[in-house]
Structure 1
Amino acid sequence: MTIDSIGWQIIRSPEYSFYGDDRPDTGHVIFQYTISGQGYLDFEGRSYSLSKGTAFLVKVPSRHRYYYEPHHEPWEILWLNLRGEEANRIWNLVIEQEGPLLKRASGSPLILELWTLLRMIGEEKVTDKYLLSAKAYEWMLTLVRTSKEQSKDISITSSTIVECAKKYMREHYASPITLELLSEHCGINKYHLCRLFQKSIGITPLSYLRERRVEAALSMLRATELPIQEIGRLCGFESPSYFGKVFREYMSMTPKEYRLKKLEFPYVAIYYE
């Protein structure tokens, strides 16, 4: 493993723009930390704001772009580029745990150690490649350790967010609920909410909502004499045809057939969770 480049820079020009799949200098990984100002990262179809205290991890080549927009204050950054199989392995590990964006305080061990490495090269003129490789490896161990600590905090927060969304859907299944409305209620963006649901319970938020609506409909079909069309409306289905379609997907029969088959399904309620 070797250090490809390391540096500190203040960016003021919109010409600062790098595409990860269109660079001649391939085969390395990049850690870049925002000290002040703001930049942007486009990563696998999503756009991220790189504000103070935010770092990103990318590999070259890969489908990404990081850049500066001039209507912001100057973007001050600290970066490290590494080469080698071990660097690639660590990048994969951390991205899997935290995603491409990391949040670290300027006084955190990860950032302080990076400044130390920069001073060794820039001020003390250390050129011993073995010593520099060892120091870079120490820095990567700090990256892994702090990432694991961060992921524990993230998992606790994620669980709370998922439970918040599930509670809201259980209590408001009869109302029109969109991903935008649900994510706003939980205080996160809809893409993050979908990822948390998939990771936590293996389905999307809207799939979870459909399950709660079908459960409610099953109970009403057995416990009430309400018309089937009215039951669909009370359970949040926007049309009778959609209610029938979703119900058949779950029960392999129509709502009317289920209401009549009391001997085969002698339960007032059926739960999918």
Structure 2
Amino acid sequence: MLEPSSYAFRNEDKSILTIDSIGWQMISSTEYSFRGEERPDCGHVIFQYTLSGQGFIEYENQVHDLPKETGFLVKVPSQHRYYYNGQKEPWEIIWLNLRGDEANRIWDYVIGLDVPILRQDSDSPLIQGFWRLMEKIAVEKITDKYTLSALAYEWMLLLVRTCREQSKEISVTSSTIIEKAKKFMREHYPSELTLDILSEHCGINKHHLCRLFQKAEQTSPLAYLRDRRMEAAIALLRTTDTPIHEIGRLCGFDSPSYFGKIFREYMSMTPKEYRMKILEFPYSAIYYE
């Protein structure tokens, strides 16, 4: 069973993502205060998250509260200070300190999304991923730097996904609408689908649907639909002997010429050329997610 504890790892390998330290801690002293310009451990990146109580962080000339289920991302060195202010309740935190070129690259990316402050439920994938990582170290006693690097990278991918989603600021209702639209297109891509049909299925105005979809997916609904049709067509070309003109029809393309035009845009060759080039393109499927 996990309990408050912390672990540190020391090696000089900067070629891989490495864990410097990880921990779960109760803070009750106002001496807990760290300035990003003064720390000796330069080149590190830090994730810290509040389980209970409250702390504070000064970041870009603003003070942010760090109550329960709030965390932050910072680099060392940088201009910031996080601290405990001596409230009645101790500040209970978890943290992960990482280093290496890859850690800094990913941190630059997620901070660039304007997400220095994270608000995550305790049962979110990101926080549950932290606990899995903590358990590997505290309970299973894993210390091999390559194994830890792989585990840390898995957590970092959760972080990237979380920050991308937070930066979109998509509400729960909007996310439900988008998923409903995507599911409908995946299931009905062979049919003649229009924005009017799709928006009617989702129960919203088609212009609003397009705005939501663009913000959440960085593409349009019709482009998403075209991707699904192409995925299906590529799979049929590679795994069946169905005539090419029939494949186009089965996958929702209006005409053989239009199918050929779109196929060339995606694959820089005709459907016939793709079918013949099995050695160069042996894939049973190609996905455009």
Task: Report the TM-score range of the alignment, normalised by the length of the smaller protein.
Answer: 0.5 to 0.7
SS in structure 2 at match of 1:42: strand
1:125 matches 2:125: no
Note the 1:144-155 alignment, pairs <5 A.
Answer: 144-153=160-169
Aligned residue number for residue 82 of structure 2: 66
Change (3 A) 1:154 1:63: farther
Pairing 1:84–2:97 present: no
Alpha-carbon distance in structure 2 between the residues aligned to 1:142 and 1:33: 15
Larger radius of gyration: 1
Q: What residue ranges of structure 2 are gaps of 5+ in the alignment?
A: 1-16, 173-289
Matched AA of 1:39: G
Gaps in structure 1 of 5+ consecutive residues: 157-273
* Counterpart secondary structure, 1:22: coil
How many residues matched? 157
TM-score, length-scaled by structure 2: 0.52
Q: Is the 8 A contact 2:115 2:167 kept in 1?
A: no
Conserved? CA contact 1:38–1:49, under 8 Å: yes
- Residue 137 of structure 1 deviates from its aligned partner by 0.2
Checking the alignment, whether the CA contact within 8 Å between 2:43 and 2:104 is kept in structure 1 is: no
- The answer to whether the 8 Å contact 2:45/2:98 transfers is yes
* Partner AA of 1:16 in structure 2: Y
Amino acid at match of 1:77: I
Alignment match, 1:20 = 36
Give the Cα separation in 2 of the matches to 1:18 and 1:154.
33
Measured in 2, the distance between the counterparts of 1:116 and 1:99 equals 23
TM superposition shift of 1:72:
3.9
Residue from 104, 111, 134 that aligns with 1:95: 111
Would you identify which runs of 4 or more consecutive aligned residues in structure 1 move more than 6 Å?
Answer: none
Cα deviations by residue, 1:74-133 (Å, 9 ceiling, x for unpaired): 100010000011111111111121431011110001001101111111121111111110
- In proportion to residue count, which structure has more helix? 1
CA distance in structure 2 between the partners assigned to 1:58 and 1:154 by the alignment:
24
Q: Tell me the amino acid that sits aligned with residue 38 of structure 1.
A: Q
Q: Which residue of 100, 105, 110 maps to 2:126?
A: 110
Give the Cα separation in 2 of the matches to 1:152 and 1:135.
27
What's the RMSD between the two structures over aligned residues?
A: 1.8
CA distance in 2, matches of 1:98, 1:108: 20
Quick one: which amino acid aligns to residue 66 of structure 1? Answer: Y
- TM value normalised by structure 1: 0.55
Q: How much does 1:152 deviate?
A: 1.7
8 Å CA contact 1:38, 1:72 repeated in 2 = no
